[in-house]
Structure 1
Amino acid sequence: MTEHVWSYKPTAGRLAGTDLTGYKVEATDGSIGKVDKHSDEVTDAYLVVDTGMWIFGKEVLLPASTVVSIDPEEQRIYVDRTKGQIKDAPEFHREKHLEDPAYRSELGSYYGVGGTSGRF
């Protein structure tokens, strides 16, 4: 049930080819950091967010399905998770996320499709 977690929702306002690096990311209850890296690959779209001092320099991976909207003028991305939900996500491993199917599945299960995984 996690196959669509890695795709943007049609309503997110995603502009293909737009570089989102440096965009600020807003959870439902406040800012969580800035986009460090992102992917637009079909069925493999995600954001890597540098949380700065919020989680002591930790990076988090957010599947594209968590994106509610993108504001290119303000360079902000809004996601449908709270800061706590993002903080409690499985730890991001930059080297593992592209190569380890079990890790990818763990992240996909945590975030679930549209937040319906049972954790939210």
Structure 2
Amino acid sequence: MKRSLNSLIGYTMRTTDGDIGEVKEFYFDDQTWTIRYLIVETGSWFFGRKVLISPEALTGIDSENSAFDVNITKEQVKTSPDIDTDMPVYRQQEEQLFKHYPWSNYWFGSGIGYGTSGMMAPMTVSVQQAIDNDQIENGTERKGDSHLRSTAKTIDFKIHAEDGQTGTFEDLIIEDASWQIKFLVVDMDDWKSDKKVLITPAEISQIKHSTENVIVKLTVDELKNSPDYDPTEPVNEVTEKNLRDYYGRLVSTQ
């Protein structure tokens, strides 16, 4: 099932022996476009500390009660490595986390990641190269960087088309079986129509964290003319077919 990440913020995290807090944001892998961690702000029982929970720990999503169920205990959470979620998360910190929990090291396997169902997520090489180039250009390349990005710090990046700026990165649509990112939601910033559209990670040519921009391989008109996205309606097979038809037509005419 496809879900909006924004709709999952505020969900309660339920361990095998009680609630530990609410989901506040997510970390996604910009190599594979996969959600790697849910960031949970714990309650007073753990001084409000934020902790990282892998989707691999999830055993169910209770939409009716806005909750995630996980197969770990409160004690495991309490004794987990203290990782500052307001700072970049490095591979060394992840290794400590994966030693503490019985989770699979997703970074093994030549750039292939895994979601909760064990589905393989292929690396988006062009996107990763663009990010690497941006880091080198701005002197921010870091050894050991696991390429994790905070949704809270990436949402609201401006969209730059091939012929100008248009729209704002607003949300992500994920497949909850694999936690792969399927679409980016773009608000076209059109006060007359409040138009929103969906684009795939394949349409991204560069992410510039230094200037908070997402550069896409589309023109302003191509974005404006793409199928409308209604956040109140589910993303289903019809939605995906319309997008494939539209973007496929653009590719065939270029």
Q: Do the two structures share a fold, i.e. TM-score over 0.5?
A: yes
Could you tell me which runs of 5 or more consecutive residues in structure 2 were left unpaired when the two chains were aligned.
1-121, 132-146
Equivalent position of 2:107 in the other structure: none
- Where do 4+ consecutive residues of structure 1 move more than 6 Å? none
Residue number among 69, 78, 100 corresponding to 2:206 in the alignment: 69
Could you tell me which runs of 5 or more consecutive residues in structure 1 were left unpaired when the two chains were aligned.
1-6
Report how many aligned residue pairs link the two structures: 110
Q: Which residue identity does 1:107 align to in structure 2?
A: L
Helix, strand or coil: the match of 1:74?
A: coil
Helix, strand or coil: the match of 1:78?
A: strand
Change beyond 3 A, Cα 1:59–1:112: same
Q: Larger RCO: Structure 1 or Structure 2 (Cα < 8 Å, ≥ 6 residues apart)?
A: 1
Q: How does 1:1-120 map to 2 (within 5 A)?
A: 9-13=124-128, 15-19=147-151, 20-39=154-173, 41-42=179-180, 44-53=181-190, 56-98=193-235, 100-112=236-248, 116=251, 118-120=252-254
Contact 1:37/1:48 (<8 A) preserved: yes
**Rg: which structure is higher?**
2
Higher helix share: 2
Q: Percent identity?
A: 20
Provide, for residues 68-120 of structure 1, a one-character-per-residue CA deviation record: whole Å limited to 9, x for no partner. Answer: 0101111100000001111111121224452x21211211231239x52x244
C-alpha RMSD over aligned residues? 2.6
Compute the TM-score of the two structures, normalised by the length of structure 1.
0.75
Provide, for residues 37-89 of structure 1, a one-character-per-residue CA deviation record: whole Å limited to 9, x for no partner. Answer: 024643x4321111113764211111111000101111100000001111111
When structure 1 is superposed on structure 2, of 59-68 and 13-22 the one drifting more is 13-22
